[in-house]
Structure 1
């Protein structure tokens, strides 16, 4: 989501102008926009124009107009490319009367303004999270060549340049490369500083380093050397997240070039989802041991989450369930996830496009690893009675 502007009053009323960029943004807006909010957006309408000649019939033209609606309801399916808003106009213009009933759509890359009488913390957090590239990005990338580097974040819909590093590198002289080597070492140190500043290794699932020749390998070695020097255990333990790839240039087109490689796509996928593979292996082990620490199925998971406070170590759910077209089910799964986080557990969403996600889908798509064994979780209360 792109934040264009915001304006708030002391009583927490105010308006925000936004642009939706993907389906996750539309889902956020579905949860953000409430009854009696006021929304201003552009839409198309068939407008009747009376002819100046009274004998002639009125003509109908298709026109883009700006509507301000008092929201009565909103509709959204994750399979849709837009979200429908229903309400009555609160401002009169030449084309539509005041108080008339309309349905309009929020579409990708079209700005709109939302007014609320009370922007509480939850609403503001929804906007903040959806507008944060850092929160949405799963991949980091550094594309470089001698003397220039670009540090990027990659989301499902865009690549965002976070920093550019430049340093003049003298050419190697015959019999003396000390000037080149010293400048190159300084340049790589600057790249490491920029990476640590702009790439959250904990949050990102993979970090791609792309370059012509061996420059990418030199940068990775420098990053790991810095981790040893600083005693940065988190960075050292994240070495497997780094993926090296070749390109013909150290500019952004080199990143696009590398990302088109089928081999790199497979390697990135395995790296990105390695936590999922390890978790599913742990889950399978507990399941085979039959100790009562691993359970799957909606009823069993709901019982563990809602009735056994703090029992859930990890809630595993596939994106097939988490992004279902059934809005009520989707809200239910989100509530389960929020409860697990509130009780100190972790929520991991598995991709159905990866092997581990497919395996979880075969086991109902939802499962938990518990902090301690709970036998007979699959027995109903009636059976207990």
Structure 2
């Protein structure tokens, strides 16, 4: 994300202009937007025109609209963000008060105005615009005929490609069709890795599968790299790590990231911090339950006692439509920071927390954790 302009007054009202540069930036933008905000961006509008002869035609024109946000729709798989609202500025194609839906686009700037920019939203902008916050962990989660190629960022898991190839069963006396299909599958996965993973940024590539699929694929990958003289694969061979997963589906990435061997390998990556925070919480909950708290009331009391060391809180809470409720979470975060604690924001469906946080949401309707150190 690129910050073009920032104009926030002393009363915390104001606007910022941003340019989303990659898919993850749409997720950050989703977390910045709230109902009632003002969004100005370029969009396509279908307009009707009438000629001098009275014939009516329609055309699609690009124009810039300013909407009062009413509905925000984010597609996490495609990383597409659609914002619906009413037009609040004069425009030659759209009447005041008319509804329109803007689909934000990569590399096109937008301006977001709020009546109040709180500390959590400003932190989100700082995080999104920090060039160091990039995906330095990639993974291929696979099984025969299915592979999910993903990038793991500090904020979310991005599905970059899904490879599906039908693999015929082995027949007695003939495996030719099976072997050919498997080779086509491995070739497609190899091309996906070369196309979607930036080896200049990625420090580790996890290749996970049940059984021996992962081992067979790695063997194929580097035999082909030698045959094709693919230097980028050969030079980065040490970045590949083969691990076990229960399936080739994306949700299996959670168990992969919880593997102690993987955690150790990822120790110098940005993703490791969030994995360790969750592991520390679970360990403390088992070994010293008096020092691990969850639930809003308990965490607030610990914060008032200046006893919070690490607070892990879901992004979902800050999208609450009730201003008073949202302000309560913001005050909690501010209080923890002011008293020397660390705050980690997480997406409730992010790779390492997907299962744990969803369970907590069902049980308590509040899904954040904190580590408490009593003085």
TM-score (norm 1): 0.50
Q: Match of 2:243, SS? A: helix
Bigger Rg over Cα: 1
Please say if residues 287 and 294 of structure 1, whose CA atoms lie closer than 8 Å, have aligned partners that are also in contact.
yes
Q: Match of 1:109, SS? A: coil
Query: Does residue 60 of structure 2 align to residue 41 of structure 1?
Result: no
Deviation, 1:106, is 3.7
Deviation, 1:261, is 6.6
Structure 2 partner of 1:84: 83
Please say if residues 263 and 275 of structure 2, whose CA atoms lie closer than 8 Å, have aligned partners that are also in contact.
no
Deviations 1:126-176 (A, max 9, x none): 544322221x225279xxxxxxxxxxx9845699xxxxxxxxxxxxxxxxx
> How far apart are the structure 1 equivalents of 2:130 and 2:91?
36
Structure 2 partner of 1:344: 340
CA 1:326–1:286 in structure 2 vs 1: closer, same or farther (change >3 Å)?
Answer: same
Structure 1 partner of 2:65: 68
RMSD, matched Cα: 5.2
Please say if residues 77 and 325 of structure 1, whose CA atoms lie closer than 8 Å, have aligned partners that are also in contact.
no
Of 312, 315, 320 in structure 2, the residue corresponding to residue 316 of structure 1 is 312
CA 1:50–1:26 in structure 2 vs 1: closer, same or farther (change >3 Å)?
Answer: same
> How far apart are the structure 2 equivalents of 1:276 and 1:38?
32
Deviation, 1:66, is 0.3
Q: Match of 2:33, SS? A: helix
TM-score (norm 2): 0.51
CA 1:312–1:78 in structure 2 vs 1: closer, same or farther (change >3 Å)?
Answer: farther
CA 1:354–1:83 in structure 2 vs 1: closer, same or farther (change >3 Å)?
Answer: closer
Please say if residues 26 and 83 of structure 1, whose CA atoms lie closer than 8 Å, have aligned partners that are also in contact.
no
Please say if residues 74 and 83 of structure 1, whose CA atoms lie closer than 8 Å, have aligned partners that are also in contact.
no
Structure 1 partner of 2:185: none
> How far apart are the structure 2 equivalents of 1:290 and 1:124?
35
Q: For structure 2, list consecutive stretches of 5 or more residues without a partner in the other structure.
A: 139-150, 161-199, 207-220, 245-252
Q: Which one is further off, 248-257 or 281-290? A: 248-257
Q: Give runs of aligned pairs for residues 132-151 of structure 1, distance below 5 A.
A: 132-134=130-132, 136-139=133-136
Of 368, 371, 374 in structure 2, the residue corresponding to residue 369 of structure 1 is 371
Q: Match of 2:127, SS? A: helix
Structure 2 partner of 1:263: 243
Of 300, 303, 312 in structure 2, the residue corresponding to residue 302 of structure 1 is 300
Deviation, 1:313, is 1.2
* Equivalences, count: 268
Q: Match of 1:292, SS? A: helix
Deviations 1:228-266 (A, max 9, x none): xxxxxxxxxxxxxxxxx9876786566898888753984
Q: Give runs of aligned pairs for residues 1-385 of structure 1, distance below 5 A.
A: 1-3=1-3, 5-6=4-5, 16=17, 18-19=19-20, 21-22=23-24, 23-30=26-33, 35=37, 37=38, 39-45=40-46, 47-54=47-54, 56=55, 58-59=56-57, 61-69=58-66, 71-79=67-75, 81-88=80-87, 90-93=89-92, 95-97=93-95, 99=96, 101-109=98-106, 111-114=108-111, 126-134=124-132, 136-139=133-136, 155=153, 207-208=203-204, 263=243, 266=256, 268=262, 271-272=265-266, 279=277, 282-284=280-282, 286-288=284-286, 292-305=290-303, 307-308=304-305, 310-317=306-313, 321-323=314-316, 327-328=320-321, 331=326, 333=329, 336-348=332-344, 358-359=355-356, 362=359, 365-372=367-374
Q: For structure 1, list consecutive stretches of 5 or more residues without a partner in the other structure.
A: 142-152, 160-197, 200-205, 211-244, 374-385
CA 1:260–1:284 in structure 2 vs 1: closer, same or farther (change >3 Å)?
Answer: closer
Q: Match of 1:132, SS? A: coil
Please say if residues 40 and 113 of structure 1, whose CA atoms lie closer than 8 Å, have aligned partners that are also in contact.
yes
Please say if residues 304 and 311 of structure 1, whose CA atoms lie closer than 8 Å, have aligned partners that are also in contact.
yes
Q: Match of 2:85, SS? A: strand
